[in-house]
Amino acid sequence: MEEALEKGIDTGCGPRIWTLDMAKDYPLSQFVGIDATKVFPMSCSLPNCSFIQANTLKGLPFPDNTFDYVFQRLFILAFAKKDLAVAIAELIRVTKPGGWIEMLRIKFNFLFLLILCTIAAYKFLSKPCI
């Protein structure tokens, strides 16, 4: 894969770990991490790595056929069911012909669901009452 990988994108990069790891493992390739929120620092010390704030549903700021490799982690959690087709179409649009799109999802287990429910309950209970 290394010979064919010129440009990769991590959509919904969050803490940037995957993007940074790929930039280290493939120093001759360029990687871009995007996320809808600007939670993490946008700078990168690696010359082949950059981060931008962008929303897949509003259109990625890249021309058609830009990336050889498109990575989306936890797709099912990132988008509402009604938005999945739009998001997938946008990932396809920026992928070069013959490129790869990898969408990682997890199988929910009881512990993970318990954690999600705890977070949701905390967010609900932390809102002020009127």
pLDDT in tens, 74-95: 776 778 889 989 999 999 999 9
CB atoms within 10 A of CB 31: 29
Average pLDDT over residues 103-122: 71
Q: What is the pLDDT of residues 95-107, one digit of tens each?
A: 999 999 998 876 6
Give the dihedral sign, CA 32/35/37/40: negative
Extents of the domains making up the chain: 7-125
H helices of the chain, in order, are 17-25, 75-78, 84-94, 110-125
Q: What is the pLDDT of residues 55-80, one digit of tens each?
A: 999 999 999 999 999 999 877 677 88
Residue 1, classed as helix, strand or coil, is coil
At the second CATH level, the architecture of 7-125 is: 3-Layer(aba) Sandwich (3.40)
How far is residue 31's CA from residue 22's CA, in Å, rounded to a whole number? 7
